[in-house]
Amino acid sequence: MVSKILPLLCLGLCLGYEDEKKHEKLPKPQLHALPSSEIKRHSSVTFRCQSEVQNVTFMLGKLQDSGYRREQNTGRQDAEFLLVNLDSEDAGQYFCAYRTTVSQEWSEESDHLQLTVTDDRGGRGPPPAKTDTKAIFVAAFSCLSLLLLFFAIFFIYRCSQDGSAPEESPQSPVLTPKSSDPTRERFSLSEPSIPSRRLQVYASWKGYQNRMKTPWE
């Protein structure tokens, strides 16, 4: 009787132990970023997740992206996840967890680790959309300025050409019409020319000499 009960008791204890193992609460792992949690754009970073248990499966997740998950089984107490060619969209808060071969649930998540991606000047890289918008605005403003400058130069050139056109055009001989001023015509008719005055003076003098000679003759 006792020999039949002992195997059943051992079987029940084993099953209970296995069930306890499946639902045990695993210690929280630790997450580190190498070489640093602040990385320049287009460079690489390595996340290292460490646990107190060996032969476990590690998982790396991202708080801002529920679909982001990378798993790795190394057989050791840690695992490394390499991220290459980082961009501004890779920045965010990362965490890791693990589970054993017999456990059905993941361990408690590690403390969240903030990854910052900076540009070449040391500042945080702006979102690509804003960068593109700013570049388009600068290019459009430059094109408009060049266009206005071209029109201004063309307008100045046309004005200078119009101002110098009468001086450069050859002078064609033209017949000057007689003056239509009646005052000038009266002045021309009433005032004799210099030769006419001389003739009048000479005729008067000759007549005076003739009158002076007549009484004695």
Mean pLDDT of 160-179: 58
Residues in the chain: 217
| Residue type for position 10 | C
Q: What is the mean pLDDT of the chain?
A: 76
The residue among 204 and 2 whose pLDDT is bigger is 204
Confidence tier at 47 by pLDDT (50, 70, 90): very high
Please give the pLDDT value at position 17: 42
- Its pTM surpasses 0.75: no
Confidence tier at 211 by pLDDT (50, 70, 90): low
